[in-house]
Amino acid sequence: MERIKREGDEAMWHHKTKVGTFWIVESEESHQYYLGMDNDSLGCYKRLEDAIKDIREQSTGQLKWDEARSSFVPEDVQQWVEGEPENWNKF
């Protein structure tokens, strides 16, 4: 998994959908993955794959996404865009 560096030495990826933009930040310190959509933080995961699985299975807790018609989200984070989404407000 290729990593990008941000402030605090953290990696970040994002994926834009019709409903909103998902983002995942890896904490170098805690080795956990923080999942969010747009300006909302949605959860913390021990494994990156589990965060992406919740998105793909539409069980994120973000009703706008979870109740929407299915939309494609790449399973492999290498198919996501590395770095911060445009106009992203840090949580």
Tokens representing 38 are: 């747009």
Give the model confidence (pLDDT) of 16-64 as tens digits. Answer: 999 999 999 999 888 899 999 999 999 999 999 999 999 999 999 999 9
Could you tell me the pTM of the whole model? 0.83
Indicate the SS3 state at residue 55: helix
Phi (first) and psi of residue 44, to 5 degrees:
-130, 135
- 47 or 86, which is more confident: 47
